Structure 1
């Protein structure tokens, strides 16, 4: 019977999916829309963001650039001015010694920690020992200053506070903050201290994996479930095994590596390119901090591109000594350089299964969290580890709305609301929604032609077109639908009004009184870019009829 167990879906959740839960937990402290709201902050290694519970839902607040994620960067210029976020990251190449980032890797750690000693050689800013702790050393207005990791994190948290206050038009003092599940007491306390320094009363420190599971709405699905959360971000990696029964979560086991993520993958590529450049020219880029940070910036861009392309070209004008730099990086080479790191992500998976006395076949749901899970090889390794059980579920868009649950303090409503700009589909090397492209609410008024792709050229080759799904579930207001598209196979399952009528008519060739689509085949013929959007030509066939349709603007 075990072999007949249904395949466990693998679900993608973007880096900001944790924010809804934060504001939810915050609402437990201040029910209603009172004068003293609680903000939720996702303090990430590379990016951070802030949300607020308002008018019955959660809003992810954009910064002054209009972005809902803010780089966890702090910079100090020659005039002593402090920059935080996008403006700080923009100074990385011109002011590398005074631009600080990735401090989450140091927070709550001792100086003699092997990971700290390994890291100090890679960063352009100085990291020094003080009170047996790693401190950041920078120049501010010609004066040398040292900051603890908590102080730098406090500056980022202060920026999140400022963003929220600018949006709400009044002061904010209370917050909840996420941390990896494996953070020890010292790291958790240091994070809380950072909040205090930032002028925040930290109501709660929340584990990220449980937040992700609730954000997906698994606590509202019937029956007992085993859930594995695979959270691979920019600088940390976390795996948690949970069981959920009647909305009650139990963390069975956790494991991870707070020194593994996208930054490490970037570093492997940088090391390779530095050695190659030195061999070809005799010039060592490592001796020039500005050149290294230029390379870091372009390598990060290349890594992102390789999630949906098989190769990309890294070009840097006047990298060092007035010489331009150019190199074609393939996905195969990127995977080769990082394969040992990619494979090491399975070790915590094995550990939590062993600690939980479970087998891979016992896992009902697999949730992929964090930007680094967009890497196709990571997806493939997870899929292969679970014996292909994730086949057909590589791509999912999750949009959760009002979901009530019971809190320890009192019975009250809490809400989940997936932020629009972070919904994306990514697998098999293809992205169907750009990382920061807003997506309309998935409701009965949702229009099929609002779908967008990041690059229309990706789908010209029908043989390589991957599955894509759209998933909506609102247990209080709307039912669920899934729309699958594949060159050879597809299916649609809809209830009542969850699929818009004109979309349903297009797919079925006519209204279905039961509101349920039968199994059918869809072939994606082309994605043609237009001035106002994209056109998706679909070909539908079955034994009895043929139907052609176009989704487009």
Structure 2
């Protein structure tokens, strides 16, 4: 069976396509969103999802979040004695979603369509694919997040639509795609984005505003204590930002060293402080319209996707940018996963989707570094020569011819880059291909370089030397995705103690109670402490019915204290 997965910065979700429609799959807690968080518990078990996220403020050194932003960088995260790459942490989240799907569907789930930000480069896409493979999936396709959202929006009533724009602002990334639907074809005309812009950056704004009023004297002294304070501070900032999405003012509140610190923040001050972030939303929108050959007034709709689009300041910014109100009919947190499930249904050739087809684009320009002469005969190196221009429809294949520049040259080296800069070295180096050529005078030996890009945005390079009829082929790779490496990392993760799915509700309740204990004072804190001790005692007795009853009682008490729980 195949599923669609939205692997998000803040939250992830899994969905399937059955009975003619996409369907979200709940996790072990009965929730449709699983926080993209991993935490190492005191007993050495790895917690994933809400149990992990609730430990972020109490155990920041043992908890990892927002690791999607590190995909493809090779940077590692230390949890206890183990070191994890971002794709390892992502694989733990994906494996948790896989177990949830199998429990819900009652069948083995072996294949997946996984979403990525439209502006993820080749390294980031390969890292995402590896994460899926480490988790035990065969990754049939990577699909751009706004493209997935467009699928969810574009097929729900099977009507043709003039070009519309998908505005996708999530927890860590921002994507824009211009899409058109006609005769059952969902066609992406252009994509653009910013991989370092999302809800987390707006949380940073709230944190800076709060620091103008609240500043515990030793909070920034460094070390583990400062790390814990930062986690508490960030959690309070997210709660405050979400409240500002529904009210004109909100309380920023933390408990530190037994003292309560409170500041009142207004929506007006938040919007003024976030103006630089709001301005960054403009450039990707303009680029996507320019590449798609459209004006904003020719768009039939502006569709909002991603949890961060709930913020009124973002909706006002979009309204000002386009001169009209955006469409918020899609659930901002569910649209991408539902679209991924539609793509999974297309891969499985579901009968309900027989007349639906999808075309996507390559979001970056792909080319090689070359040397060229100017009009005065001077030779310039590090010149970027595009072979596949950004926003070309994929799958596609393009070629470009090159010649030797030195007499009796014995080899040609092609450095393959991804990006838009004029100087090749200012772009992202993907790989290097070196080919042998016969010794001839400069200009007599030609090399034809062909780039072929598939629907997932992955690249294959062919270099042909016509004079010798030799062809060199390379699937572009940064060198760490071979089968042996994947097997070794999959085995290493399998050897760890992963918290069993059935025990996730208990771990989540305990982690939430510990976080609330630190957040409240006085009688409320004492009540939480007593309830936690009672819950631990029931857990030790291993009586399932008693555990379930007391867990519900604990959660009801915490719900009453916290009000409506945010996700």
Return the TM-score normalized by structure 1: 0.58
Residue 412 of structure 1 corresponds to 351
Structure 2 distance, partners of 1:410, 1:51, is 16
Residue 39 of structure 1 corresponds to 3
Change (3 A) 1:286 1:88: farther
Structure 2 distance, partners of 1:243, 1:147, is 40
Structure 1 residue 227 corresponds to structure 2 residue 160: no
Structure 2 distance, partners of 1:394, 1:244, is 16
Secondary structure at the aligned position of 1:368 is classed as strand
Residue 379 of structure 1 corresponds to 315
Structure 1 residue 106 corresponds to structure 2 residue 70: yes
Secondary structure at the aligned position of 2:119 is classed as coil
Structure 2 distance, partners of 1:329, 1:404, is 41
Of 275, 283, 306, 1:347 maps to 283
The answer to whether the 8 A contact 1:53-1:59 is kept is yes
Structure 2 distance, partners of 1:411, 1:221, is 15
Structure 1 distance, partners of 2:346, 2:328, is 32
Of 196, 220, 227, 1:259 maps to 196
Of 119, 122, 134, 2:75 maps to 134
Structure 1 distance, partners of 2:2, 2:176, is 28
Higher relative contact order (CA 8 A, sep 6+): 2
Residue 61 of structure 2 corresponds to 97
Structure 2 distance, partners of 1:397, 1:103, is 26
Pairs aligned (count): 346
Secondary structure at the aligned position of 1:165 is classed as helix
Structure 1 distance, partners of 2:172, 2:30, is 24
What is the CA distance between 1:407 and its match in structure 2? 5.4
Residue 329 of structure 2 corresponds to 396
Structure 2 distance, partners of 1:256, 1:47, is 19
Change (3 A) 1:407 1:166: closer
The answer to whether the 8 A contact 1:404-1:413 is kept is no
The CA deviation string for residues 370-393 of structure 1, in whole angstroms up to 9 with x for no partner, is: 0111111211111111123x3xx6
Structure 2 distance, partners of 1:168, 1:409, is 16
Q: For 1:146-157, what aligned pairs fall within 5 Å after superposition?
A: 146-157=83-94
The CA deviation string for residues 240-288 of structure 1, in whole angstroms up to 9 with x for no partner, is: 112332222332221111111000110122133235433xx54444742
The answer to whether the 8 A contact 2:304-2:328 is kept is no
More helix by share: 2
Structure 1 distance, partners of 2:36, 2:14, is 12
Which of the two has higher C-alpha Rg?
2
Residue 441 of structure 1 corresponds to none
Contiguous gaps of at least 5 residues in structure 1: 1-36, 110-132, 417-553
Contiguous gaps of at least 5 residues in structure 2: 356-567
The CA deviation string for residues 266-323 of structure 1, in whole angstroms up to 9 with x for no partner, is: 0122133235433xx5444474222221121121111111111001112222x2x333
Q: For 1:360-371, what aligned pairs fall within 5 Å after superposition?
A: 360-371=296-307
Of 132, 136, 140, 1:195 maps to 132
Q: Tell me whether 55-64 or 303-312 shows the greater mean CA deviation.
A: 55-64
Secondary structure at the aligned position of 1:93 is classed as coil
Structure 1 residue 81 corresponds to structure 2 residue 81: no
Structure 1 distance, partners of 2:330, 2:196, is 28
What is the CA distance between 1:58 and its match in structure 2? 3.1
The answer to whether the 8 A contact 2:17-2:342 is kept is no
The answer to whether the 8 A contact 1:75-1:82 is kept is yes
Instruction: Please report the RMSD computed on the Cα atoms of aligned residues, expressed in angstroms.
Output: 2.9
Q: For 1:163-242, what aligned pairs fall within 5 Å after superposition?
A: 163-217=100-154, 222-223=159-160, 225-242=162-179
Structure 2 distance, partners of 1:145, 1:105, is 20
Structure 1 distance, partners of 2:96, 2:38, is 10
Structure 1 residue 296 corresponds to structure 2 residue 296: no
The answer to whether the 8 A contact 1:219-1:247 is kept is no
Structure 1 residue 72 corresponds to structure 2 residue 72: no
Structure 2 distance, partners of 1:71, 1:364, is 34
